[in-house]
Amino acid sequence: MALLEAIGIAKSFGGIHALSELSLRVEAGEAVGLVGPNGAGKTTLFNCLNGVERPDTGTVIFAGHRIDGLPIHRRARLGIGRTFQRLELFSGLTVRDHLLVAERVRRGGGRMRVWRDLLDMGGPTAQEQAGVDRTLDLLGLVPVAETVVDALTLGQGRLVELGRALAGEPLLLMLDEPSSGLDTSEASELAGVLNKVRHDSGTAILLVEHDMDMVHQVVSRLYVLDLGHLIAEGDIDKVLADPKVRSAYLGQEV
Ligand SMILES: Nc1ncnc2c1ncn2[C@@H]1O[C@H](COP(=O)(O)OP(=O)(O)OP(=O)(O)O)[C@@H](O)[C@H]1O
Ligand SMILES: [Mg+2]
């Protein structure tokens, strides 16, 4: 059984068919790429998979559960971690604060826990601290753990975003253009971190990315979207040699 199986996903916004009957699967521990020109529907598909949007039709099965009717936090607790195209960090909070909040949200803790937090009686638990320390170590963020995020480089900020998505040890990590704004060497370093995460934790990766070097470094299988349709899928080198794919990318380097 696949870790993630999306079948017949369609989503329209007014008259725009952002996604047309799209199906996709990711095996446990697999790294899969999702590429396509601007407006192809990549972010919309991510939104339908993690619960930001409800698809108009289609089924999403994750780790044996049908999830397409579940809210975002329930999908997150089942093991879907996600980063966003735009960096969303909280000014004035440290790197450690960001990761702690993510740990708590991801692991949940029931109604009593929420009340304790509201009454400000709930400091970090040993389990939360341990989770945060593991993530800081994995991402090489230990030296900046107590630094406020405003003082970080963009590359470090992207790692914090990745760390938040890794809270609670997800089974699947969905990344929406993680190399955006990074230079070549930072993007390559980030690819190395993703490979390490997958290797060490067995986390499956679904990567949306325009930087083909990075895609090559991380994934072996690729889906190509164009105007809401899946136009190719399979082994990365075979797919990129496909004339349909080359013409969808006309004017762009593949
Ligand atoms: N909330 C929305 N309301 C209306 N139209 C939307 C909405 N979200 C996406 N769209 C449209 O759906 C289509 C797919 O957009 P989407 O953001 O999924 O593309 P993308 O592949 O992520 O593009 P990019 O590479 O630029 O991030 C586009 O035509 C977009 O304008
Ligand atoms: Mg997008």
pLDDT one-digit tens code per residue, 22-39: 999 999 999 999 999 999
pLDDT-above-70 percentage for the chain: 92
Q: Tell me the pLDDT tens digit for each residue of 76-120.
A: 999 999 998 888 899 999 999 999 988 887 776 555 565 566 556
Q: Is residue 123 part of a domain?
A: yes
Q: How far is the CA of 34 from the centre of ligand 2 (A)?
A: 11
Q: Are 62 and 4 in contact (CB under 8 A)?
A: yes
Q: Is residue 36 part of a domain?
A: yes
Q: Is residue 212 part of a domain?
A: yes
The helix or strand, by DSSP H or E, that contains position 42, with its residue range, turns out to be helix 42-50
Taking CA atoms, 254 is separated from 33, 167, 168, 213, 224, in Å, by: 14, 33, 35, 9, 12
φ and ψ of 70, to 5 deg: -90, 150
Ligand 1 proximity of 43 Cβ (cutoff 6 Å): yes
Q: Which amino acid is at 174?
A: M
Ligand 1, atom nearest to 37 Cα: 25
Q: Is residue 162 part of a domain?
A: yes
Which residue has the least CA distance to atom 26 on ligand 1?
A: 38
Range of the domain at 22: 4-248
Q: For residue 246, how many other CB atoms are within 10 A of its CB?
A: 12
The tokens of 82 are what? 């996600």
Q: Is residue 254 part of a domain?
A: no
Ligand 1 proximity of 44 Cβ (cutoff 6 Å): yes
Nearest ligand to the CA of 47 is: 1
Which residue has the least CA distance to atom 18 on ligand 1?
A: 41
Ligand 1 proximity of 50 Cβ (cutoff 6 Å): no
Q: How far is the CA of 60 from the centre of ligand 2 (A)?
A: 20
Instruction: Give the CATH number of the domain where residue 125 resides.
Output: 3.40.50.300
How high is the pLDDT of residue 34? 97
- How many independent structural domains does the chain possess? 1
| 154 alpha carbon, distance to own chain's centre | 17
Q: Is residue 253 part of a domain?
A: no
Whether pTM exceeds 0.85? yes
